[in-house]
Structures are given as structure tokens and as C-alpha cells.
Structure 1
Amino acid sequence: MAVIFTPQGDKDFFTPFGPMMGYVRMPARFVDDMNAAITRNLEDHSGQLVGKVREELRFDRALIDMAAAALGQTLIEYHIRASRRGTFGDYEHRTKQYELNIAGGWFVRQFAGDYNPLHIHTGAALSCVGYLKLPDGIEAEWEEDYRDHHPSHGHLQFAHGTDSHYSVSNFMVKPRVGDFWIFPSYMFHCVYPFRSEGERRSFSMNLSVMESEARPAPGQAA
């Protein structure tokens, strides 16, 4: 059933089309713990992924649980906000309870010349990326790259729809250690190569937020 939108007041500005993006700064302790976890004996999952990068190490159960504990509430908040936006506010989250279903996660270890071609993710509703490490010389490279009319080195680019009047179809993200981005799994994105020596390290996860009706508290009528 189509959602009926009713303007509130005499003037309104809103965004009825296009997907919502989420952004948050990750806790510094979580970033440190994730970087320390890179030394675990993790499976190289790069043969199953599209990235043209050195290594893509698959999360074990402990890493999935650690990410869920640190970022779960933010991921659920994204789900709630996007659901409210998609129904123009006709969505009551207080009557629901939520559970994360993380299909998988992996570290992306990218070095000079590596890149991630344009792609989407499958098997889940949401995807995300968090930045853990950057090459020491990347700021100098970016300073030079930003003199060009279209800088891109080591940047993440999202794309959705088609450019038209009053509408854009893509935007670029300059990675920063501690930044965490959430987006629908169907959104196209890519990562451009860079030249600096050293590692550009991030992690990605695919997940869904499962809804169920909240159970009444003990002694409360159903």
C-alpha cells in the first residue's frame, strides 16, 4: 500500500526519494581492538569478494560479536530512522524489539595500487564500512590530488540513481580513522586506488535488522 503524505503546516521541505545514509564516529577503544584483531589467524576471503586488494580477512564469531556490541545500537537506530522516513513517520518503534542478524564481516587490507570496483552487496539488507588505519603519507598525496578538478585517490564513492536537475546521484567519502558509514546493501559503491606506501585498512559487514513485537513487561497486560 502506498504511503499517503500529508504536509504539516504551510511550508515543508522533505526528501521522499532515495536511500538514507548513516554516519557515526566509532569508539576509539573499539578501533584499537579491531586493529589488534588483525593478527588473528583469520581466513582470507578475497577469493569470494570483488575487491582487487591484498587481503580481505573474514570475521570469526568473536569479531562479529564485538562489532555488534560496539555498533549494534547505531545500526538499529539507522533502521528505525529509515523506516520512519520511508513511511513519513507512520512507524511506531516503541512497540517493537530489534535483533541484529550479521551475515558476515571482513577486514579490507588495501595497499598502493589496490582498488575495489563498482559493486553492491547481497544476502542482507544493510552494509557498512568502518575505517581503522591509513598510510602515513596519504595526507600529502591527498593535498596534491585535491589540486585536480576531480580528486579520488583512496576515496570511497557511493552512487544511486541518475543525476538530474536538483538531484545528485553520487558523492565521495574521504576516509578518516574512526569513521563508520551505514548504507542499504543495494547501493553501488567503489574505492579508488592510491599511491602512498602503507596500508589503508577498513572493515565491512552485511547485516539485517530483525523486528518482532515487544513483549509486555512482567505484570503488564498484553
Structure 2
Amino acid sequence: MEIKIYKPFGPSICKVTIPKEIIEKLNSYIDDVIKNEAKSKELDYGNKLAGDVTQEFKLEEKIINESGWLKFLGQSVHEWIRLDTKQKIQEFKLIDSWVVRQFKNEYNPIHWHGGHVSGAGFLKVPETLGKYVQDKPNKEYFGGTLNFIHGSRQFMSNSNFKIIPKVGDFYFFPHYLMHSVYPFSGSDEERRSISFNANIDKNIFNVHGQF
């Protein structure tokens, strides 16, 4: 497993690539759910999530297991915690996993997750996310990007970590790390992301004895 740890401003962020076969199985399943109006309603998760987007729905336990998604998450979190804290988790308990279908002009406001550890990654990305309305050649475009926020901007200390979405990239982070997705103005294609919440060993998570 190729794994990279980012620690740009405090909380650890772990980047891993989702195996191609898992992406294909998940996308096939998601496409089937989209076509099935009854199933889409049954799995709708929008009232529990923050996004102002076209569709958000919870993944069923069967596809989570059969696609290899649960195994991927568990192995990745195990390695992330080991590399960052030098400790080995014995417990990985998935709380939920869901899909976000975002299109042009839609967004996900600043929010955080539940559980102990979380993650977000990309299953589909538009060919182009767009550009600024005004001519701003020296400014980075934020449309459609995933942004982690922590602390306040100071000298030699940024408070924002911007990620340009790429199919297969997945980022693990502690549940409390705030993040958002800006609306994009480019293609009419779907920006499809996937996320999860999970608990790990309480004694490893609860480092300050607060819970």
C-alpha cells in the first residue's frame, strides 16, 4: 500500500489511492441506485448531511463488504495510525459510509464528522471544474476543491489545505477536522465523492482522557 501522511497545520491527514477494482464496483453500484427511484429514496442520507447537492445516499452493508471497501478502509486506517502514533489499533468499527453527488453551482459548507476517524475521496471528477469569472491569472481557482481548515492564518502558518480532486485519491483525517467543498462552474459532469465515519480503540483516540 502506498501511503502518504500530510501534517500541514496540526491534525494528520493520510492520502491513499483507492484500488481501481473497488472504484469500478462502487461506481457500478451507485449507477444502479441512481436508476432505481425506490432504492434512491430508501438510502437517501441528505437530511443527515451538510451538503447543498443533487443527491447524497448511504451505502448498503452488502456493497461495503463485497466491494472490498470495508477492508480498504480498515487496512488504511490501521497503517495511518501506526505511522503517525506508533500504535496499533485493534478495533475498526464502521459507523456509516455515503456518496455525495455534486454538480455545477452546488457546494458543501464547512462541517465536520462524527466518530473518531473519517475520510473523503473521489470516484468521478468533471473534466474541467471551471475558472474565475474575472481574469485572475495569479490566483488559484477553488471551485470543486476539497479544503481542510484548522486554526487561524498567521505568519508561517496556513489555516487551509486545498486538495484538487482526482479519481482514486482518498484522504483520511480525524473526525473534528473542518472541511468544505466550493461550488464549481465548469463542466455539467458529476463530481462524485465518497466518505465514511468510524470508531477505533478508545484508549488510542482518547489521548487526553476527555471522553
Partner of 1:192: 182
Q: CA deviation at 1:157?
A: 0.4
Deviation per CA, 1:95-150: give whole Å up to 9, x if none: xx62311110100000111100001112x011101200012343xx2599983514
TM-score by length of 1: 0.75
CA distance in 2, matches of 1:148, 1:37: 41
Among 201, 207, 211, which residue is 1:210 paired with? 201
Q: Is the 8 A contact 1:156 1:191 kept in 2?
A: yes
Mapping of 1:1-222 within 5 angstroms?
A: 18-38=10-30, 39-40=32-33, 41-42=39-40, 43-65=43-65, 66-84=68-86, 91=87, 93=88, 98-122=90-114, 124-138=115-129, 141=130, 147=137, 149-195=139-185, 196-210=187-201
CA distance in 2, matches of 1:48, 1:184: 19
Q: Secondary structure at the match of 2:118?
A: strand
Structure whose CA Rg is larger = 1
Letter in 1 for 2:95: A
Q: Secondary structure at the match of 1:131?
A: strand
TM-score by length of 2: 0.79
CA distance in 1, matches of 2:132, 2:21: 29
Partner of 2:207: none
Q: Secondary structure at the match of 2:142?
A: coil
Deviation per CA, 1:61-109: give whole Å up to 9, x if none: 123323112332111111222323xxxxxx5x3xxx6231111010000
Letter in 2 for 1:152: F
CA distance in 2, matches of 1:210, 1:55: 32
